[in-house]
Amino acid sequence: MNLWTPPPPPCVCVCVPPHRLCIVNDQLFIRMATTEEIRRAFVAPAPTPSSSPVPTLTAPQQDMLSAFSLKSGMNFEWSQKCLQDNEWDFNRAAQVFTQLKTDGKIPDVAFIK
């Protein structure tokens, strides 16, 4: 009798917008990880060079970004985009954000932190 079963696909479920979960594999196998699997799980991948430079924010911009993210409820990526699009003018970015949110033009992903 062969008791070996093939391992499941790497993911059991995936996110489906907006706020839904789709089960793609309804069989979950739980077993003890090998020493090698544990070691590989906690090794950070080496950074790869980017084709586009990542802009470095000044300390005041970082402070503004944190404050804008806190007030708007958006994550840092979308908060930074809003501030950059408004030339780092906090009040103008807040006005634009408020109008876009009222119009329902900000995607849900902007609020996932």
- Structural domains of the chain, ranges and CATH numbers in brackets: 59-111 (1.10.8.10)
What does the block give as tokens for 51? 């084709």
Q: Are 111 and 75 in contact (CB under 8 A)?
A: yes
pLDDT band of residue 45 (cuts 50, 70, 90) is low
CA distance 67 to 73: 10
- Please give the pLDDT value at position 43: 72
Please give the pLDDT value at position 113. 83
Average pLDDT, the chain: 79
Residue 104: which region, alpha, beta or left (left: phi > 0; alpha: psi -120 to 50)?
left
| The predicted structure's pLDDT at residue 32 | 87
* pTM of the predicted model as reported, rounded to 2 decimal places: 0.52
Beta-carbon-side half-sphere exposure of residue 91 (alpha carbons within 13 Å): 0
How far, in Å, CA of 13 to CA of 112, rounded? 18
**Rounded distance between C-alpha atoms, residue 94 and residue 67, angstroms:** 11
Establish whether the linkage from the previous residue to 10 is cis, with ω within 30° of 0: no
Looking at the chain, the whole-number percentage of residues with pLDDT higher than 90 is: 43
Dihedral (CA of 60, 65, 67, 68) sign? positive
Backbone phi and psi for residue 53, each to the nearest 5 degrees, phi listed first: -70, 145
